């Protein structure tokens, strides 16, 4: 293997035509240049340059090595240029993982904003549950993950950035007895039939908040996805909680109401502990800004539009 520093010295000697001229261009002493060339010839196992009364002349082996030297140093320069571009967010990639409700609001806006500011960065998005994204982040398959209410065990060896406390709203059928009230409390819904995921981590906020309100929710219908939950609510068979991040995707034939004692979800960005893609932290900054701008109350007022609300 040839040392790249010696290859650069070799190329400089050939381009300048003498050891002394190369030494001056490189800010070396002439003996230092001579030593570099002598070492390179030992590495090559043959003479590369002939000293002439006026300058130098390449041997056949030197001519062959010069061609490879140009290619090697050219590729190294190109590699350094690309590496520098990644650090400047003028190249590279960012693989994002997120859960469905964040993908309905904050994440798309953050991707669009980041892409406008750094169009050369290749962005990709994978959707999964929070628990499904964390192993992919640890395995290096993602550069950044968004999660809700992660446990301390899940956060081991990961850096956590809090983005938003996402309040839940209650979704009611249009003809529900409480649909006319603008603001409810969970105890107002203690006799309702609830729709909730059968996964314990999804139902945890509902059970915790209802326990504080003094009752246990009666869950009769299990649904994993927000679309299915909304369909059951629209059919009038029960009520469910909808996170604030999902409000923009709520269908028109159900009613949303705020809860004075609403449970919230902790939404965080997760980064690997150690090396991380140069675009990861700048993207988190954009995510945080978008999360700050996401006002559930404003979205809800727009959603309800002309509906007359009475206390």
Give the contacts of 141 (CB within 8 A, at least 6 positions apart): 95
Cβ-Cβ contacts under 8 Å for 208 (sequence gap 6 or more): 263
Three-class secondary structure of residue 141 per DSSP: coil
pLDDT digits (tens, 9 = 90+) for 6-63: 999 999 999 999 999 999 999 999 999 999 999 999 999 999 999 888 889 999 999 9
Q: Which CATH superfamily is domain 167-263+300-304 in?
A: Periplasmic binding protein-like II (3.40.190.10)
Domain 93-164+265-295 sits in which CATH superfamily? Periplasmic binding protein-like II (3.40.190.10)
pTM: 0.72
User: Angle between the 4-16 and 19-26 helix axes, to the nearest 10 degrees?
Assistant: 120
Phi first, then psi: what are they for 44, rounded to 5°? -80, -20
254-302 pLDDT per residue, tens: 999 989 998 888 899 999 988 889 999 999 999 998 888 875 444 444 4
- pLDDT at residue number 310: 40
Task: Note the pLDDT tens digit of each residue in 136-192.
Answer: 999 899 999 999 888 888 888 899 999 988 888 999 999 999 998 888 999 999 999
The vertex-147 CA angle with 233 and 89, nearest 5°, equals: 125
Whole-number Å distance between alpha carbons of 293 and 163: 11
- H/E stretch holding 132: helix 130-138
Residue 127 parent element (H or E) = strand 122-127
In this structure, the number of other CB atoms found within 10 A of the CB of residue 260 comes to 10
Q: Tell me what pLDDT residue 200 has.
A: 67
Backbone angles phi, psi at 157, to 5 degrees: 65, 20
- Report residue 309 CA to chain centroid gap: 40
The fraction of the chain above a pLDDT of 70, given in percent, is 94
Mean pLDDT of 65-83: 88
Q: Where in the chain is the domain with CATH 3.40.190.10?
A: 93-164+265-295, 167-263+300-304
Distance, CA of 3 to chain centre: 38
156 CB burial (10 A radius; 0-12, 13-18, 19+)? exposed
Eight-class DSSP state of 190: T
CATH 1.10.10.10 for domain 4-87, yes or no, is yes
Which residue, among 209, 221, 303, 219, has the nearest Cα to 256 in the 3D structure? 303
Residue 295 C-alpha from the chain's centroid: 22
Distance from first CA to last CA of the chain, Å, rounded? 81
Rounded to an integer, what distance in angstroms lies between the CA atom of residue 114 and that of residue 172?
Answer: 36
**pLDDT tens for each residue of 78-99:** 888 878 888 888 888 999 999 9
Is the CB of residue 261 less than 8 Å from the CB of residue 209? Answer: yes
Please report the pLDDT score of residue 308 as a whole number.
41
| Chain region(s) in the chain for CATH 1.10.10.10 | 4-87
Beta pairing class for 193-196 and 218-222:
parallel
pLDDT reported for residue 309: 41
């Amino acid at each position: 293997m040839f040392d790249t520093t010696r290859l650069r010295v070799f190329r400089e000697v050939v381009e300048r035509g003498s050891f002394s001229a190369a030494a001056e261009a490189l800010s070396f002493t002439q003996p230092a240049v001579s030593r570099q060339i002598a070492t390179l010839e030992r590495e090559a196992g043959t003479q590369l340059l002939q000293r002439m009364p006026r300058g130098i002349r390449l041997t056949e082996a030197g001519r062959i090595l010069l061609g490879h030297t140009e290619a090697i140093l050219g590729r190294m320069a190109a590699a350094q240029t690309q590496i520098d571009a990644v650090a400047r967010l003028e190249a590279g990639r960012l693989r994002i993982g997120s859960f469905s409700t964040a993908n309905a609001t904050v994440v798309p806006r953050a991707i669009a904003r980041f892409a406008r500011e750094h169009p050369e960065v290749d962005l990709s998005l994978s959707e999964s549950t929070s628990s499904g994204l964390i192993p992919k982040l640890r395995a290096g398959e993602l550069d950044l993950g968004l999660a809700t209410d992660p446990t301390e065990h899940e956060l081991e060896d990961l850096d956590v950035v809090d983005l938003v406390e996402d309040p839940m709203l209650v979704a009611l059928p249009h003809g529900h007895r409480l649909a006319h009230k603008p603001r409810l409390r969970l105890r107002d819904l203690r006799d309702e039939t609830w729709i909730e995921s059968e996964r314990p981590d999804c139902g945890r906020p509902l059970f915790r908040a209802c326990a504080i309100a003094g009752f246990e929710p009666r869950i009769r219908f299990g649904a994993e996805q927000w679309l299915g939950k909304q369909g059951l609510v629209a059919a009038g068979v029960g009520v469910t909680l909808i996170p604030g991040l999902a409000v923009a995707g709520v269908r028109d034939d159900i009613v949303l109401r705020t809860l004075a004692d609403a449970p919230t979800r902790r939404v965080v960005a997760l980064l690997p502990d150690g090396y991380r893609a140069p675009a990861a932290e700048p993207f988190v900054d954009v995510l945080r800004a978008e999360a700050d701008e996401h006002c559930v109350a404003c979205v809800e007022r727009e959603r309800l539009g002309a509906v007359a609300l009475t206390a």
